[in-house]
């Protein structure tokens, strides 16, 4: 009897649930850039998937924009 009442309550309350209706998502569904690109243009100085080596690669690349350090 107790089980039957519980089942009835479950059936009664099931209409109270609601599906998520968000049209878009602000969640970042993108993979991190350090995972690397699957093409032949990836620089050889770092290892795809290794965040530390990717950051070091971008840092050295950014420092290459400074001609004061390049000529010294």
Site residues for other proteins per CB under 8 A: 22-39, 41-43, 45-46, 48, 54-55, 57-59, 61-63, 65-68
Cα–Cα dist 59/69, whole Å: 14
For other proteins, the closer CB: 17 or 65:
65
Closest separation in Å from C-beta 13 to other proteins: 30
CB of 12 to other proteins, least distance (A): 34
Cβ 46 vs Cβ 57: under 8 Å: yes
Question: Pseudo-torsion of CA 7, 12, 16, 21, nearest 10°?
Answer: 80
């Amino acid at each position: 009897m107790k089980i039957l009442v519980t089942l009835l309550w479950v059936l009664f309350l099931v209409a109270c649930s609601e599906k998520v209706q968000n049209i878009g998502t602000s969640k970042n569904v993108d993979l991190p850039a350090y995972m690397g690109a699957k093409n032949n243009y990836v620089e050889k100085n770092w290892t795809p998937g290794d965040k530390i080596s990717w950051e070091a690669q971008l840092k050295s690349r950014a420092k290459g924009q400074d001609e004061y350090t390049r000529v010294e």
